[in-house]
Amino acid sequence: MSLASRLGGIPFKEVFRPAPRQHMAGFWSQAGKVWRPQCAGHFWAAVPRSHWPEDESHIERVWEEENGDCRQELVLIGSNMDEQGLAAMLDHRLLTQEELATNKTRWNEIFETLSPGGRQTQQ
């Protein structure tokens, strides 16, 4: 079951790192049955500093030493949500230590096992 279906129609927006293309930024938004995945370009960490904008404040705000600005962000839009249930469901979808240690070649193989909405999980 995809992340979107598990969220039960809660509108959301997400910035993400596609596993096999971690220098790229993806963007996904969904409200009801209307969804829009798209490429959001490169993270600044993958762009030479000579091509950065003069005002770097929006980059500095999210920059971390280890990953630069490469990150996952998920915004759930709504009220009276089951915060604990949503947190448990999202935690279950985190990468395992084995997946985190995987080399880039293996990421392409792992990526092939994904459904359009997320990692396949057994119910």
Q: Which pLDDT score, from 0 to 100, does residue 123 have?
A: 38
Mean pLDDT of 60-77: 88
Calpha distance 21→19 (Å, rounded): 6
20 contacts: CB under 8 Å, gap ≥ 6: 104, 107, 108, 110, 111
Q: How many helices and strands, by DSSP H and E, does the chain display?
A: 5, 6
Q: Which pLDDT score, from 0 to 100, does residue 118 have?
A: 46
Calpha distance 55→53 (Å, rounded): 5
Q: Which pLDDT score, from 0 to 100, does residue 48 have?
A: 93
Residue 9: half-sphere exposure toward Cβ, Cα within 13 Å: 2
Q: Which pLDDT score, from 0 to 100, does residue 122 have?
A: 39
Render pLDDT for 14-49 as a digit per residue (tens, 0 to 9): 887 776 666 788 888 888 778 788 888 889 998 999
Render pLDDT for 96-122 as a digit per residue (tens, 0 to 9): 888 777 776 776 676 666 545 444 443
